[in-house]
Amino acid sequence: AQSVAQPEDQVNVAEGNPLTVKCTYSVSGNPYLFWYVQYPNRGLQFLLKYITGDNLVKGSYGFEAEFNKSQTSFHLKKPSALVSDSALYFCAVRDRAGGGADGLTFGKGTHLIIQP
Partner 1 sequence: EPEVTQTPSHQVTQMGQEVILRCVPISNHLYFYWYRQILGQKVEFLVSFYNNEISEKSEIFDDQFSVERPDGSNFTLKIRSTKLEDSAMYFCASSPGQGQNQPQHFGDGTRLSIL
Can you give the binding site for partner 1, defined by CB under 8 A? 32, 34, 36, 41-46, 49, 51, 90, 94, 96, 98-109
Cα(103)–Cα(79) distance, rounded to whole angstroms? Answer: 31
In the bound state with partner 1, the residue whose beta carbon lies nearer, of 48 and 114, is: 48
Pick the closer one to partner 1 by CB: 4 or 81: 4
Residue number with CB closer to partner 1 (81 or 87): 87
C-beta closer to partner 1: residue 3 or 12 = 3
Minimum Å gap between C-beta 33 and partner 1 is 10
From residue 83, how far is each of 16, 80, 86, 103, 106 by CA, in Å? Answer: 9, 10, 6, 32, 25
Going by the DSSP 8-state scheme, the letter that residue 47 receives in this structure is: E
What's the min distance (Å) between Cβ of 99 and partner 1?
6
Q: Give min distance, CB of 115 to partner 1, in A.
A: 23
d(CA 65, CA 99): 24
- Output the smallest distance, CB 15 to partner 1, in A: 27
CA distance 115 to 23: 22
Distance, in Å, from the CA atom of 11 to the CA atom of 75, rounded to the nearest integer, reads 13
